[in-house]
Structure 1
Amino acid sequence: MSPVDTREPRPHTGRRRNEAVRRAILDAALDLLSDADGAPVTVETIARAAGVGKQTLYRWWPSKGAVLLDALTDYAAQELPTPDTGSLRGDLRAFATATFEASQRAPSAPALRTLVTEAARDAHLAQLMRDFTEARRAVLREILRRGHERGELPADRDVDLLVDQFYGFFWYRFLLGHAALDAVTAERITDSLLR
């Protein structure tokens, strides 16, 4: 019988992501976007802030925008969970309020603005942005599906149209900045969707 090897396994040094390094990079990207000094966020500044070489970022992400989107997706999953208040009205209001509040503060606000701008010039990032928005739309779709199941939303209501109405409203106000995205607005869009 051979002796048991009690040595610690060597850390992987190939292409597989080290979760601690990935987390440091995503946190650094969001921290840089949250800084109010207006300095541009680049692959170099993210790498420096995370304490890694920029080749590490390029090994795992094709662009700065892809890093930022990954960071924002991770942030949204943690900070904007699917509400379950027990009622469709409560869930919609909680979802709208959380979405609107997050879009008005760092790191979401600068990250979203940067990503929208860069996605207009980068087809790969534009696809990643569509994936991100689809993930957020799926959360809202789930809220509406539960409302159907509880009989709070008539079966003939078009869920995809309701999702489009919510996000069309959100993106219009977010990008143009012509009117508030606040708790009062969340209440009003909830009333409008449930009419």
Structure 2
Amino acid sequence: MTVHPWRPTRRRLADALLAALAPVAVCSVALGGLTAWTSSGNAGTPARIAITDAHVFLPYGNTRDTAAYFRITNSGGADDRLLKVTVSGADGETALSRHRMTSGRAAYAETVDSADVPAGGSLAMSPSGLDVTLQAKPGWREFDFVPFTLHFQHSGPVEALALVVRPGRFGV
């Protein structure tokens, strides 16, 4: 029996080329996507938290219960989470709470453990949504500033001064 050396045929060469082309094409598409993501400036950037529109309601009547509101903006490329809010100019504990409506159109508040602040997005607290409940220190007056510290999962503590306002004033 005579052994003939192996010779590539056109069909075998075409099949081998197609088999090698598929992973190369997938890698090229993935590399292109990663390049575009990196070029946009968001790849690998941590959360960048900024606090604006910080205000706390002046308590009304004989109660010291009140609420504080903040606009939290995350200009970074990673999500973050608000874990808690502390305040040195108040008595007692603070709590994150979310206001909900029942089917009978009554409102109630429920305490929440945390709130998400998405990458490239913001979280706007409001009387009809998320807020920080607390007890005001006696002697607060309208237009005083109260120092708050907002604690985030990745960004750590961020300080903000909240303006004491009467409810309904300045559109809040």
Q: TM-score, normalised by structure 1?
A: 0.23
Greater strand proportion: 2
Q: TM-score, normalised by structure 2?
A: 0.25
Greater helix proportion: 1
**Rg: which structure is higher?**
2
